[in-house]
Chains A and B, each alone.
Chain A
Amino acid sequence: MSTLLSLFDGVLLLSLLWLAWRALAAPDLFKGIVLFIAFGLLMAIAWVRLRAPDIALAEVAVGSGITGALLLSALARSRRLEKEQAEQGSDRE
């Protein structure tokens, strides 16, 4: 039973580290943010494993949900702004 638990821990932590790396190194920022949201969900599983259910609830709602919404909204805003600035630049020329 405890070797099974250690195996679970190992798989969970390796996926956590791999996901964090893929989220940060993704060339497309949208993919990176979605992977970051998935990373938050895996963190919540880690919290439950460490007997921290309050923190698991907070991580899913705040760390994954709200931070994900903030990041996606900021990404959309910056792409809109880039388009506006590109149009303004071509109008001036």
Chain B
Amino acid sequence: MTPQQNPRDDTRFTARRALVLAFVLAGASALGWAVFSLPLDASGLTGPALEQLAKSGVTNPVTAAVLNYRGYDTLIEIGVLLLSVLGVWSVAKADTFANPPPASPVLWSFLRLVLPVMLLIVGYLLWIGSFAPGGAFQAGAILAGAIVLWLLADAGRTPLPRAWMLRVALALGLVVFIAVAVGVMLPGGKLLEYPPAHAGSLILLIESAALVSIAATLAALFLGGRLANDSDATNSAKPQKGAR
């Protein structure tokens, strides 16, 4: 068996797959017929969303929907981000770069050009998200991309930051969001009901914390498991019988 291709995993068309195809085609036709029965002109929630835009604290309707009208969804989503890293940490250990190749000058001069521009774009997207297309999620993903690029070029030569710094970065978004969500209840409001005068600044605060968390989460997912310098995590790992 070649290491490249497991022979059981072929993509030929067998009789069993013909049956699956028939089933999927039947389901897809039913869905397609349902699509034809939908009205082609439906405003949905556009009207109310645009009417309340003045009170939401931002001018971009998508950002208003994400962080104000559907703020609870976003709160839970940031919780899901944290949960996924915990899941990955409980299942696998991060790759170690065993034999890093010598540092490539071409790659590093490229990164020296590209990484500062990426950081500039991250800051720009975070700020402009309130007024134009952009926002914390897009900026966080680009920051994560910059971190991944650096990790790939560095290949384990530089030791990673201490474990507690990563944990703080991962939890920051959720903590700040919950703090703001509960904090607006103190003067007598309801959960996540930002006062319209301060809604813009609160949203920017939440987005900044979420930016750090999203970038840290995506980078941690890329590393693929517990880090070697994370003593709390590795002490609880039980010995395995197979290769890892």
Q: Do chains A and B touch in the complex (CB under 8 A)?
A: yes
Q: A residues engaging B (CB < 8 A)? A: 25-28, 52-54, 56-58, 61-62, 65-66, 69-70, 73-74, 77, 79, 81-86, 88
Query: With A and B bound together, what is the CA distance between A88 and B243 in angstroms?
Result: 9
Query: With A and B bound together, what is the CA distance between A53 and B95 in angstroms?
Result: 35
Residue of A54, A57, A69, A81 with most partner-chain B CB within 10 A? A54
Considering the complex, give the chain A residue whose CB is closest to the CB of B125.
A57
Say yes or no: A73-B3 contact (C-beta < 8 A), given A27-B10, A54-B134. no
Complex contacts, B218 vs chain A, CB 8 Å: 62, 66
Cβ contact within 8 Å between B3 and A82: yes
Tell me the B191-218 residues at the A interface (CB within 8 Å). Answer: 218
Cβ contact within 8 Å between B11 and A25: yes
B93 to chain A, nearest CB (A): 11
Query: With A and B bound together, what is the CA distance between A31 and B63 in angstroms?
Result: 36
Interface of A, secondary structure class, is: helix
Say which residue of A57, A61, A65, A66 sits within 8 Å of B133 (CB atoms): A57
B227 to chain A, nearest CB (A): 15
Cβ contact within 8 Å between A53 and B133: yes
Q: Is B172 an interface residue (CB 8 A)?
A: no
5 inter-chain pairs at a CB distance below 8 angstroms, sorted by A residue, are A26-B11, A28-B5, A56-B133, A57-B134, A69-B145
Say yes or no: A77-B95 contact (C-beta < 8 A), given A54-B138, A62-B137. yes
Q: Is B148 an interface residue (CB 8 A)?
A: yes
Query: With A and B bound together, what is the CA distance between A25 and B95 in angstroms?
Result: 28
Complex contacts, B134 vs chain A, CB 8 Å: 54, 57
Tell me the B65-123 residues at the A interface (CB within 8 Å). Answer: 95
Say which residue of B3, B133, B145, B224 sits within 8 Å of A86 (CB atoms): B3
Complex contacts, A79 vs chain B, CB 8 Å: 3-4
Complex contacts, B138 vs chain A, CB 8 Å: 54, 57-58, 61-62
